[in-house]
């Protein structure tokens, strides 16, 4: 399974300029007018690879940059620096026309099926648009056949193709959004919190659907979520992000059995357990800093119980951990074996 | 008698095309220091239950049947003025989104003093002193300074702490928390839940925790009631409910949780087919029967009652066949 990476991200950086207009940027300081720049540092130097056939989950709390990472990979945001490669080809430098053949192979599923479907388009219009856009010469009968096939697969009655989104429940809408991603037969799908807006019983249906689609079509997923129990269930590898930085990347089972990074440990201990067996919560002191003023050194040092002076000054590198199947951890304490 | 007793409560909304029954024959009780969980998916009626207790059901909805007894008094018969004495005073409520609960243009101090002065004749200084004490109770660092700050100066978790502090101002006997951590991250959620647990003990309060998250319920509550389509379908001690659920819906809900499937990661999750019915189109008989694996003829025609289960003293289930299929899980 772990052969060639389908998507590779190298030293990806994404900053958003939020300084506003000219007047808002103007500052009067010691007799001079200066122009300041304010940037949200959403993704900082992230490198990772997604291998064909796997599900790589990216987890983290709100504001950690996981969605920005996903959208930048999809080309929805241009990266500030760094490279994005699709099967070895750089795609971050392409113009929209050159990007077209890649877009056909990469699709995205969003969190909120109420917002991601156009309320004024019927299911048929929603589903046939990507098909006709990417295959200009497709015949009407072929479109019909493809729609019927994909609707059948996601569990929406093909007879409902002329209905509008408001006639469907949240779970069914998410099925339609998945059908829209599947209809052009992609090989790589980015799912950004695809089940977070859904109830538990519907969540199980959609997760099953995503896993079935993966089996049947050999899909590769980049799965963005904050829900660790979902991660444990669907993914083969997990990347944990904190404040725009990748802090741990490991095979799912190993991450849950023996997390290394102090943040991963705290995160795992905070999941409420249904069996009621209370684990000791590892309490983190303080608040998540803003991504505008990133802390120097390790981004986690302000809340980390193991931080020392080195953590305050030196950014830890993502290093392999001995005795694991390729776990990467960015932590001085782990590297120094203090932990 | 318990501090709060709700008996056969029915809430309906008068709509153009007829009455919509949002709560149907809901009964429960809550005592001092007791922690009750109310679980269900969206549309189950769990929030309406919370609102009904403090009579916050707005038109066209109203309580059409049943009684709400608090401290021996019929809350459902209280006038709006009498109710205002109870709300935010004896019974307080916490909502999901702290940014919506707090007024963005008033300082925390003003909002806290206002809440106190609404219920007592108290000077601003005395009220501020109480506010500081309550902020300390919810672990807000340097509370005196914080009083002059606005909600936007706090993080999400801190805001929810402040909302809890406001709820505590008049030393309520009961706190109703409606999805208090749903908008927060897991690490913050763990902190808030721990705080609520601590406060129930410290302040002798009863807690009614409304949530869709079975994990949270399992960690915080002692007793739980599961709701489906406006009805209570199962109540039990939390531990027992989680380890041996009886109603097919409860069982399905627990088995649908990723990480709780016996099959293990990567395997198909057990799924309940279909979705919660719209309240206008509830099926006859048992409202769960169209989605139930164990549905029989009687389920289609006869409404099951919430009944005690033989050999299970603390449990009530509304299912014609509560034990069928329990063993194969």
Q: Is the pLDDT of residue B261 over 70?
A: no
Residue of A226, A229, A273 lying closest to B185 (CB–CB): A226
Please report the pLDDT score of residue B220 as a whole number: 92
Which ipTM was obtained for this model?
0.81
Residues in chain A with pLDDT < 70?
1-2, 276-279
Higher pLDDT: A221 or B281? It is: A221
Nearest-CA neighbor of A74 among A104, A116, A46? A104
Q: Please judge whether A266 and B216 are an interchain contact, meaning their C-beta atoms are less than 8 angstroms apart.
A: no
Residue of B242, B252, B256 lying closest to A275 (CB–CB): B242
Residues of A within 8 A of B194 (CB-CB) are: 281
> Residue holding tokens 């601003």?
B124
Let me know the angle formed at the C-alpha of A108 by A77 and A199, rounded to the nearest 5 degrees: 120
| pLDDT tier at B329, thresholds 50, 70, 90 | very low
Percent above pLDDT 70 for chain B: 97
Higher pLDDT: B197 or A35? It is: B197
- Nearest Cα of chain B lies from the Cα of A157 at a distance, in angstroms, of 13
Q: Does A171 touch chain B (CB under 8 A)?
A: yes
Please report the pLDDT score of residue A1 as a whole number: 44
- Cite the DSSP H helix spans in B275-317: 297-301
- Sequence-ordered strand ranges (E) for A203-332: 220-225, 237-242, 245-251, 319-320, 328-329
Per-chain mean pLDDT for chain A: 91
| pLDDT tier at B275, thresholds 50, 70, 90 | confident
Please report the pLDDT score of residue B328 as a whole number: 52
Minimal Cα distance from A196: which residue of B? B182
User: Which whole number is the average pLDDT over B239-263?
Assistant: 86
| pLDDT tier at B247, thresholds 50, 70, 90 | very high
Residue of A233, A269, A272 lying closest to B265 (CB–CB): A233
Give the DSSP H/E element, type plus range, for residue B145.
helix B143-146
Please report the pLDDT score of residue B325 as a whole number: 64
User: Which whole number is the average pLDDT over B231-260?
Assistant: 90
Q: Please judge whether B41 and A270 are an interchain contact, meaning their C-beta atoms are less than 8 angstroms apart.
A: no
Please report the pLDDT score of residue B226 as a whole number: 96
Handedness of CA A102, A104, A105, A109 (dihedral sign): positive
Residues of B within 8 A of A284 (CB-CB) are: 187
CB B222 within 8 Å of CB B15: no
Q: Does B79 touch chain A (CB under 8 A)?
A: no
């Amino acid at each position: 399974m772990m052969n060639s990476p389908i998507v590779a991200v190298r030293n990806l950086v994404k900053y958003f300029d939020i300084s506003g207009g000219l007047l808002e940027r103007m500052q009067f300081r010691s007799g001079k007018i200066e122009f300041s720049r304010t940037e949200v540092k959403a993704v900082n130097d992230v490198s990772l690879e997604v291998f064909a056939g796997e599900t790589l989950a990216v987890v983290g709390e709100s504001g950690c940059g996981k969605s920005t990472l996903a959208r930048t990979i999809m080309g929805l945001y241009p990266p500030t620096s760094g490279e994005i490669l699709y099967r070895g080809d750089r795609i971050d430098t392409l113009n929209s026309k050159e990007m077209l053949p890649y877009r056909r192979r990469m699709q995205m599923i969003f969190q909120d099926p109420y917002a991601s479907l156009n309320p004024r388009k019927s299911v048929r219009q929603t589903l046939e648009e990507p098909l006709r856009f990417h295959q200009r010469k497709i015949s009407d009968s072929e479109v019909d056949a493809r729609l019927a096939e994909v609707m059948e697969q996601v569990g929406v009655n093909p007879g409902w193709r002329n209905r509008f989104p408001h006639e469907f429940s949240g779970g069914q809408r998410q099925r339609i959004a998945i059908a829209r991603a599947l209809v052009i037969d992609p090989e790589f799908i980015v799912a950004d919190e695809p089940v977070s807006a859904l109830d538990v019983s519907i969540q199980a249906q959609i997760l099953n659907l995503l896993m079935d689609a993966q089996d049947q079509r050999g899909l590769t997923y980049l799965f963005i979520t904050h829900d660790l129990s979902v991660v444990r269930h669907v993914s083969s590898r997990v990347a944990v992000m904190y404040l725009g930085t990748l802090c741990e990347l490991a095979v799912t089972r190993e991450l849950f059995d023996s997390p290394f990074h102090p943040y991963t440990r705290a995160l795992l201990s905070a999941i409420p357990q249904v069996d009621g067996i209370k684990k000791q919560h590892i309490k983190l002191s303080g608040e998540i800093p803003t991504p505008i003023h990133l802390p120097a050194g390790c981004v986690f040092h302000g809340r980390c119980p193991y931080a020392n002076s080195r953590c305050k000054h030196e950014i830890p590198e993502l290093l392999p951990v001995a005795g694991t199947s390729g776990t990467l951890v960015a932590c001085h304490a782990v590297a120094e074996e203090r932990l | 008698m318990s501090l709060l007793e709700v008996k056969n409560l029915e809430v309906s909304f008068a709509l153009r095309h007829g009455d919509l029954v949002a709560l149907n024959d809901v009964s429960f009780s809550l005592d001092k220091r007791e922690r009750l969980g109310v679980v269900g998916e969206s549309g189950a009626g769990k929030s309406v239950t919370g609102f009904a207790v403090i009579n916050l059901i707005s038109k066209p909805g109203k309580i059409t049947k049943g009684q709400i007894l608090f401290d021996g008094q019929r809350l459902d018969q209280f006038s709006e003025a009498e109710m205002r004495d109870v709300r935010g005073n004896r019974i307080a409520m916490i909502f999901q989104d702290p940014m919506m609960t707090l007024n963005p243009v008033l300082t925390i101090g003003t909002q806290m003093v206002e809440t106190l002065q609404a219920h007592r004749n108290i000077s601003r200084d005395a009220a501020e002193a109480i506010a500081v004490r309550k902020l300390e109770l919810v672990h807000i660092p340097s509370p005196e300074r914080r009083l002059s700050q606005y909600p936007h100066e706090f993080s999400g978790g801190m805001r929810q702490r402040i909302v809890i502090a406001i709820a505590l101002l008049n030393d309520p006997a009961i706190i109703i928390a409606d999805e208090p951590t749903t908008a927060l991250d897991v690490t913050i959620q763990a902190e808030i839940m721990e705080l609520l647990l601590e406060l129930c003990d410290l302040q002798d309060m009863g807690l009614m925790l409304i949530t869709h998250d079975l994990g949270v319920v399992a960690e915080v509550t002692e007793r739980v009631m599961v709701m489906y389509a406006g009805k209570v379908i199962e109540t039990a001690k939390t531990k027992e409910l989680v380890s041996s659920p009886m109603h097919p819906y409860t069982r399905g809900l627990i088995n649908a949780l990723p990480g709780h499937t016996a099959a293990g990661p990567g395997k198909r999750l057990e799924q309940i087919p279909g979705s919660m019915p719209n309240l206008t189109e509830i099926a006859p008989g048992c409202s769960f029967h169209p989605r139930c694996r164990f549905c029989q003829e009687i389920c289609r025609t006869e409404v099951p009652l919430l009944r005690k289960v033989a050999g299970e003293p603390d449990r009530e289930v509304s299912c014609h066949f509560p034990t069928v299929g329990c063993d194969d899980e």
